[in-house]
Amino acid sequence: MNAPLLEYRDVSKWYGSITALMGVSFAVGTEVLGLVGKNGAGKSSLLRLAAGLLSPSQGEVAVLGQPATSRAARASLGFCPDTERLYEPLTGRAFVAWMLRYHGLSRRVARQRAGEVLDELGLGADMDRAIREYSKGMRQRVRLAQALAHRPRVVLLDEPMTGLDPIARRDLGGIIAELPGRGVGVVVSSHVLHELESVAGRVVMVHQGRLLAEGRVSELRDCLPGQPRRFRIVGGQRRELAAATLALAPVLGVELLGEEELRVTVEDVAEFTLRFTELAAGWQPGVTVLEPLDEDLDYVFGRLIG
Amino acid sequence: MTVAEDTRAGNSDVAAHPPASQASLPGLGFAGAMATAFSQTLLLLARNRLLWLLLLGELITGVIAFGLAGFDRNRLAGHDLFCLLAWWFQSWVVLPWATMYLVVQAIHGDVEDRTVQYLFLRPVSRGALLLGKWLAASVLAATLVGAGVAVLFVGVAAVPDIWGDGIEFASLGTYLWLTLCGALAYGAFGCWFSATFRRPLVWAAVFVVSQMIAALLPVAAGVRALTVSDPLRRLLIAHVEPDSRLERILWPGDRALRDEVIGNPVLALAILTTVLLALALYRYRRAEYDARDRE
């Protein structure tokens, strides 16, 4: 069996009498894994355990089969923390090059590699300016560059979207999504669920230090038993469409929203989809949109923690 | 779908990974990491504006020394005046404060603003990072204070007629040696405080005041062995051959020193420095940076 790139095995972490994590186990392969949880859930502790900055009170964390605190593990891992501060007087290129020097690169090669990575991350024009003059987005790119420049196999990103404008978020999402194609396993943490939906193939949900659920968003949603689901429907003659939809067996209720828009609450998704498809096929004014409203992580997470 | 009870499955369609040693850059050895930390710390500290203020202050003391030498030429010989100024101003005040401030900036400053995690992520020994930082800050402090001592010497030597037997360059050499030894030892204290306590500068202040009080105790008091100033004073008196008047001024309590009391001050400082660095290394290697305050 192929080995995972990062693996948590029954990991617990205590800070004195405070339990930060309790018996957490999951594995990360060549993928983007979203780590979801409210503030204080234990996300940062999980990432810091993998980065070797913390040691587990119980259990094991392994990077490429090596203990996370070992030098071999650190050589294979890149971590982008969510702290704002960098070495402020340095330039972005100098900072990344300084970090690369510890990986054994010569001054010249480190500087060259730092320039390449920053250029790839879109900081090419500003890499020789002092960090103290950088915006949040530029700092985030420098943090990301120091995590990627030594070409690690595992990359950990702690709240990477925080403070970024929408364009920077989109760009960063694109960069993250490309990493598994290079054989890299990525863990991205966020307490803003919708940020992760576009980049993470799988999510791990943590709550109060425990692993709540793990899987694809759609899989997690489907595992919620007996939860009514909502759909948005756009079609002509909405009042008549609403009446016809309400007549379908699994429909619990219909709300009229916009001019041609309905919101439908259903009990059995499969049954509703089958019956509504038949209805829509014969509906002369036409049905242009049928989309689930509860696919998002916010909904799933909200249901899971009650 | 996987829920909490079924978390061990992981992602089975993962490509087999090569051994870590093949996959990644191996990282620097101990000496290489220490040298890198040394040079990077020097470059960062050199950008501290306080250093330039300190250097300006040192130049001003040289001018003051020149003024005192010219004004007070009938009371103190050049050698005594230089020793007094260099000891009471540089070795007693500037050296401990400047060294411990710089070391705390280099080590605890990184911890305080969390930039240290970027270093701890690298495949190098934390001990090498700590020793590189300690050495850089201590050498920088020794250079600054040494420059101040040299400026004082020039200020006093500029009035040659107060040096009875000619200008004694050996005294300058002794003070520069004392400054280097003192900087390494004070740096070790700063290193230990930084690695151990949340407010290392407060502990540094407590230490400096405590050793001033300890200096008033009898020569045989064991607590003197835990200070830096006591071995430094012994080293100074053993080398500059002060007259009894200078000896009384440099040695509070007016106690005459004999060779057996002086002992081997450099060895005492070396032992103290080694013990402190070992304690600091132990703490630094085990340090964790928990995330509770942010979550």
ipTM: 0.81
Cα–Cα distance between A269 and A289 in angstroms, integer? Answer: 16
Cβ contact, residue pair B114, A103, below 8 Å: no
- With CB atoms and an 8 Å threshold, state whether B114 touches A81: yes
CA B37 to CA B138: how far, in whole Å?
13
pLDDT at B19: 42
Question: Is the Cβ of A40 closer than 8 Å to some Cβ of chain B?
Answer: yes
> What rounded mean pLDDT belongs to chain B?
81
CA atoms within 13 A on the CB side of B198: 1
User: Which of A4, A152, A183 is facing B24, going by the closest CB pair?
Assistant: A152
- Test B27 with A219 for CB contact under 8 angstroms: no
Question: Is some CB atom of chain A closer than 8 A to the CB atom of B4?
Answer: yes
- Residues from chain B that touch A85, judged by Cβ atoms under 8 A, are 113-115
The pLDDT value recorded for residue B257 is: 54
Asked if A287 and A232 touch (Cβ cutoff 8 Å), the reply is: no
Predicted pLDDT at B20: 40
CB atoms A20 and B290 under 8 Å? yes
A41 φ/ψ angles, rounded to the nearest 5 degrees: -75, -25
Residue A74 CA, chain-centre distance (Å), reads 22
CA B162 to CA B156: how far, in whole Å?
9
- Per the CB < 8 A criterion, the answer to whether B250 and B83 are in contact is yes
As a whole number, mean pLDDT of residues B73-93 equals: 81
A231 CA: distance to closest CA in chain B (Å): 22
B1 in contact with chain A, both atoms CB, cutoff 8 A: yes
* B216 and chain A in contact, CB less than 8 A: no
B120 vs A53, A105, A150: nearest CB: A53
Tell me the per-residue pLDDT of B98-146, one tens digit each, with 9 for 90 and over: 999 999 999 999 888 889 999 999 999 999 999 999 999 999 999 999 9
Tens-place pLDDT, residues A154-208 = 999 998 887 677 777 788 888 899 899 989 999 999 876 667 777 888 889 888 8
Express each pLDDT in B242-260 by its tens digit.
666 666 666 655 455 555 5
Nearest chain B residue to A202, by CA:
B11
Of B20, B33, B292, Cβ closest to residue A64 = B20
- Compute the half-sphere exposure of residue B100: CA atoms within 13 Å on the CB side of its CA: 25
Q: What pTM did the predictor assign?
A: 0.81
Report how far apart, in Å, the C-alpha atoms of A301 and of each of A196, A218, A270 are.
Answer: 13, 12, 22
Q: How far does B282 lie from chain A, in Å, by closest CA?
A: 16
- Chain A contact for B32, CB < 8 A? yes
Q: Give yes or no for B51 touching A (CB within 8 A).
A: no
Which of B24, B33, B114 faces A102 most closely, judged by CB atoms? B33
Nearest beta carbon to residue A4 from set B10, B19, B114: B10
Contact (Cβ atoms closer than 8 angstroms) between residue B41 and residue B106: yes
Picking from A229-233, B54-58, B248-252, which range would have the lowest pLDDT averaged per residue? B248-252
A262 touches A256 (CB < 8 A): yes
CB < 8 Å from B in window 220-249 of A: 220, 222-223
Long-range contacts of A106-114 (CB under 8 A, 24+ apart): A113/A149, A114/A145, A114/A149
pLDDT of residue B42: 95
Amino acid B2: pLDDT = 38
Residue to substitute from B5, B6, B7, B111, interface A, most A β-carbons within 10 A: B7
Q: Which of B10, B16, B291 sits opposite A26 (nearest CB)?
A: B10
- Give the pLDDT score at A269: 76
What is residue A81's three-state secondary structure?
coil
